[in-house]
Chain A
């Protein structure tokens, strides 16, 4: 018979291995909680652990499995609308025929002004390895930031409403003599920027450049930028893209994205975004950028409906379609036709120059 604490600690260890953030502090609370419940009743141990060791809905299915495996007891019946955990697959982001590492050559420098100019207008899928490296370097220099909005918080100013508290404080200092009036006015905050990047098969050639663009945006304004990839399912990669180094950030998000190059179910992914994030506040009064060619498998009605919802929530919706830069392009795919009525701006994003135009579009008030 092992000592109870050891058994409980073993369980916490198992959870950590399963990917739940059961930090020492949480484990300590877990032990305190088991002192308060009847440890001979499996249900009570279940709740004591779940309440103290888990930190978000995604932890719950993992916890249930770990509990069943470790204690050999089924979790108590609760109406589990728990989400299935997503299988993780790892891909390295690279275009075909390119080595991932160690191929960086210093000999093929593409840095003359004229060649940079040519590079800026070339479609990102038509570049040689050296040009691609140069493009990646240039992409770290773009500044996609959303315009500011009026914030609720007031700050000191030279005019505006009288700041009674500060004025009186000044007067207190001078024993109540009427001093200079202090003013305050409304401050400004960056508006939220939401990027939805389509990583399905037809968008694959552009995914690397677009995610690097997204990385630049997250690095500029980490607190007010959200990035999601849409393909067959929706994945939030804002957190992964916060890493300073673009290559590391991309590798981390590649690991998080389970549906590279699958088919597109854009309407469904968009609905998932709006239900889980957008409606609750992420898209409200935000600048939302959708990177997609609108290649929707099946019926585009859902996509149209969801784009309508999005346009009613967001401040502005910008649609970026890399094919728009091609000669003779017309937005004829069913998805594009359904989406365009709800889009404020429709731009191309096939080259560095086009992405710079997009930066301008994002910055507009």
Chain B
């Protein structure tokens, strides 16, 4: 990849990410920067909604690179992740040549015909191949823990070589290896061999100051007071041992919902009607109501 003028050090990358609206802390910025410099895949783990996926998007924006996303699921296989041959088109191609030959009366050379079938134009690029063919690119392999072991095996091959071998075509190599970000929610232990190839980072919930800054950056129209209150309340919610602690994404949704209602600051009645933006389980809602909304947002009810 061409040396990007925006990322000469972790600090510069932090600033460049901030320009795209992604406020990374020191650890995460260093992780992204090393992944870019060392050409190592970055393996991110952490609670849902801490910004693992959006980091890949922000890095792509900073590098001016194309973002290719591969969402993993159980049963994902090579033809859905790497490439596939477009058989119907190949067949039409054969028929067309035959038809043309019968009109002109020419002999069709079988070997030549077969060779013409396995041309790049009949190959459908799936996300991994797309990421390798497009340079510069950022490849996001989302929720890798949801895929199965077989998938990890060929992912490993692609990551270590930055190339894909197609038996009928040969090797397709990346002009510049893509920056790779893998995310995992730890529903399954990912194989050691895969983790060893990667830089590992556990993504924390942001600090209070950072969260306020994120809210302000994402929602410029929200009052500072509202952003502070939402960040404060979200922090308290994370301490309540909920089924699903709210992430940054939920905090942004919540502040956005309050802002849409014309709120300039948070009070218990408003919190009660907008809790659905932050809490996604009935039990969590009940627990918070037991705890008292006033205490949650730090104002007497």
A interface residues with partner B (beta carbon < 8 Å): 21, 23, 25-26, 29, 32-33, 36-37, 43-44, 47-48, 50-52, 54-57, 60, 76, 78-81, 151-153, 164-165, 168-169, 171-172, 175-176, 223, 239, 274-277, 279-282, 305, 309
Contacts and interface: CB of A to CB of B under 8 A. Distances in A.
A268 B285 CA distance: 20
A79 B283 contact: no
Contact of A29 (B38, B85, B186): B38
Nearest to A21: B192
Interface string B28-51: 001101100110100001000000
A47 B30 contact: yes
Contact of A176 (B91, B185, B195): B91
Contacts of A81: 204-205
A43 B26 contact: yes
A33 B39 CA distance: 11
Contacts of B117: 172
Given A52-B199, A55-B200, A172 B90 contact: yes
Nearest to B48: A280
A264 to B, nearest CB: 20
A97 B64 CA distance: 71
Given A32-B38, A175-B94, A281-B146, A78 B199 contact: no
Interface residues of B, number: 49
A30 to B, nearest CB: 10
A268 B187 CA distance: 20
B72 to A, nearest CB: 12
B38 A33 contact: yes
A262 to B, nearest CB: 22
A79 B207 contact: yes
A280 B189 CA distance: 12
Given A25-B197, A165-B84, 15 more contacts: A23-B196, A25-B196, A33-B199, A36-B38, A47-B30, A48-B34, A51-B200, A55-B196, A57-B202, A172-B117, A223-B149, A277-B187, A279-B243, A281-B146, A281-B188
A79 B94 contact: no
Interface in B174-200: 185-189, 192, 195-197, 199-200
14 contacts: A26-B196, A29-B40, A36-B37, A44-B10, A47-B26, A51-B200, A52-B200, A76-B26, A79-B207, A81-B204, A172-B90, A176-B91, A276-B186, A281-B146
Contacts of B291: none
